[in-house]
Structure 1
């Protein structure tokens, strides 16, 4: 069963989606902490440090989404879900 999961593209996509959602949930929790820190009037250095962590988590999620789309495009070039030009534009949007 484990060997099948490694070669099954839908299982790989599902696992990738779970990782992305988990990363976004962590970022959501970090953002909630930033908002609470601002409400409390915490030190600006601490707030900015937490905000940078949120930003990095969101960036990583975005890059993971684009990289997943790139892999899907390479594995199924006839798929019309995302064109190479659209992938480039999405990637540059994050950069």
Structure 2
């Protein structure tokens, strides 16, 4: 599956946020500030995950006729991916 530039850019932002958290830890910043940033990283990663699953679902539904897989099975698989990511 080809990933959109939007998803790739989101992941690069997550990477930058995570590096920022590590830097904060190395600089021994306040725990509350670090936890706040870690929460922001998790939220950004969750949004990126949802976007990847959504794009995959669209692609799979489009291609499901060629694969012989039922549309309901494709949707169920996408839902399971979302559940697994939590």
Instruction: Give me the TM-score of the superposition, normalised by structure 1.
Output: 0.73
Corresponding residue pairs, total: 82
* 2:78 paired residue number: 87
Structure 2: unaligned runs, 5 residues or longer? none
TM-score by length of 2: 0.80
Q: Which runs of 5+ in 1 are unaligned?
A: 1-12
Describe the SS at the equivalent of 2:48: helix
**C-alpha distance in 2 between matches for 1:84 and 1:53:** 28
Large movers: runs of 4+ above 2 Å: 73-77, 79-86
Considering only aligned residues, what root-mean-square deviation do their CA atoms show, in Å? 2.3
